[in-house]
Every structure is written in structure tokens, then in C-alpha cells.
Amino acid sequence: MIDYKSIFKVNKKKAIVVGSNGLLGVEIVNALLSQGATVLGIDLKKNNIKSKNYIFKKIDFSKTHKIDKELENIFKSFGVPDIFVNASWPRTKKWSQLNFSDSSINELKKNVDIHFNSYIWSARLIAEKMSKKKIKGSIILLGSMYGVVGQNINIYQGTKMRENFAYAAIKGGIVNFTREMAAYYGKKNIRTNVICPGGIEGHVAGLNKKQPINFLRSFKKIVPMSRLGKPYEIASTAVFLSSDASSYINGATIMVDGGWTSI
């Protein structure tokens, strides 16, 4: 008989979480620690997590030309992980200007490089190392509901928020890259899945401000569950995908969006 209590845990597993100081990254680290994993967090700033099973390294994964060397150093000191989660959101200072009426090709190129390229290159390197070490691994990438459907421009009325075609394009690319990874590495017992959050409670990315009231009202009117998601709801999904409870889930796009993409 299957021990269902144990297969949801990640005891004795090693995990790397990129973006460990972000709104979602912090919760994912805490969730993995609570289920028995040893976690290496990667970000530009350290969070306040205190655990004997938590290690932090200040590394800038947006510098794509350095990812190979940085990961090799991690493999030597920490080992090859069983779980790799990329919850980072690297972006330029002008990323919010990447809307259809106000953008530049240079900003687009920069954001594609530091966001999309850093995701796919680090995931590939991790998968290759897992394969060589014959690790039955789980790779989890953070997408977005806007990598699956177009942005609803109406919810930004009465705010300074705008559409962002670069974000939608990058997240859409990550979603399909996940499928490609799953198709190739599945036979090596390495699973790759993408979590696509909907609107999440918290600050406006890059601005450290609360979400505008008009935006919240419009959003809640449209989403079937009439509310934004909470960071722990993303983190619990990440733990599930990290555990043996999801051992036959590979190449999936997991929507955690309150039903937004169902209508």
C-alpha cells in the first residue's frame, strides 16, 4: 500500500530556489524547508529565513554569461539538487515601458536575455547535471497566466498600469520550453513543469507599492473566485511538484489562477 503521508514530503532532498527573496520565492523556500528539504536560496538580497537547512548565496543569474561558472561552483559546494525552482523575475529598470505604444528594441532584447534566456539556460544546465548523476529530478519554472492567454487590458483602467507584451512573450516562451524539456528529459526520469500564477496579493513588482484599488476591484469582478491568490498557494503547488506525489506529472502547465483562464 502506498504511504500517502510520506510521498508528499521531500525529506533528504536538496533544492535550489532562484529568486529566493521574492514574493513567491520566500514562500517556496519556507514550504520546502517545512517538508524536510535542504534548500539553497539564490538572489541579490538575503531574506530573514533562519534554518540549519537553509543556505543563501548572492548570485545574479541575470548575467547569463556567468551562469555556467556559477552553477559549477554550486555543484562543487552544495551538490547537484534533486529539485530546481526558478521563481526569479529579472528585469531592467525600464521594463514597465515595454507596452505597444512606448517601447524600444534594446529594452526588449535586454529583458529577453536576462529573463527568458536565464530561465532556459539554467534549467538546461541543471537537467544535464541531474542526468549525468542519474538523479530523479524535478525542475519547476514560474510562468504566468499571461503566458497562456493575452492580458485583459480593461483591468488597468483608472490606474497607471499598462500591458506588457515582453512579459507575455517571455512567459509564453517559458511555458513551451517546459514542454520541450519534458519531452527530452522525461526518459531520464527528470520532470519539468511550469506553474502559472494568476494575480497574487502583494506589492506591484519593482515599485514596492500596494496594488491600486481600481485594479483590485476590476480583477475581482472578472476572476471566478473573486479574489487574488496568495503566495502560499503557489508555494504549496511547488512542493507538490517537488514530491513523489507528482511522479507522473511531466510537461504540465499548472494554472493557479482562481479560474481566470477557464473563462
Calculate what percentage of the chain has a pLDDT beyond 70.
98
Instruction: With cut-offs at 50, 70 and 90, classify the pLDDT of residue 33.
Output: very high
119 is catalytic: no
Within 13 A of 170's CA, how many CA atoms are on the CB side? 25
Residue 204 has pLDDT above 90, yes or no: no
Residue 193, H or E segment? strand 191-197
Distance CA 198, CA 188 (A): 31
Catalytic residue, chosen from 156, 167, 232, 248, is: 167
On whether the pTM is more than 0.85, the answer is yes
How is 119-179 classified by DSSP, letter by letter? HHHHHHHHHHHHHHTT---EEEEE--GGGTS---GGGGTTSS----HHHHHHHHHHHHHHH
Cell 514574493 belongs to: 23
Which helix (DSSP H) or strand (DSSP E) does residue 18 occupy? strand 14-18
Q: How far apart are CA 68 and CA 164, in angstroms?
A: 30
CB 234 within 8 A of CB 195: yes
**Distance between CA atoms of residues 11 and 90, nearest Å:** 30
What ranges in the chain are assigned the alpha helix state H?
Answer: 4-7, 23-34, 67-77, 105-111, 118-132, 165-185, 213-222, 231-242
**Whether residue 206 has pLDDT greater than 70:** no
Residue pointed to by grid coordinates 506588457 = 164
The label of the residue with cell 487574488 reads 228
- Reported as half-sphere exposure (CB side, CA atoms, 13 A), residue 28 has a value of 31
* pLDDT at position 71 over 70: yes
Dihedral-angle region of residue 134 (phi above 0 means left; psi in -120 to 50 means alpha; beta otherwise): left
Structural domains in the chain plus CATH codes: 4-262 (3.40.50.720)
How confident is the model over 141-188, as pLDDT tens digits? 999 999 999 999 999 999 989 999 999 999 999 999 999 999 999 999
Question: Is 22 within 8 Å of 87 (Cβ atoms)?
Answer: yes
Type of residue numbered 237: T
202: Cα separation from own chain's centroid: 16
Residue 208 has a pLDDT of: 58
Which of 84, 114, 92 minimizes the C-alpha distance to 17? 84
pLDDT, tens only, 77-122: 999 999 999 999 999 999 989 999 989 999 999 999 999 999 999 9
Rounded CA separation 195/236 (Å): 11
Amino acid at 132: K
Q: Residue 77 contacts by C-beta under 8 Å, 6 or more apart in sequence?
A: none
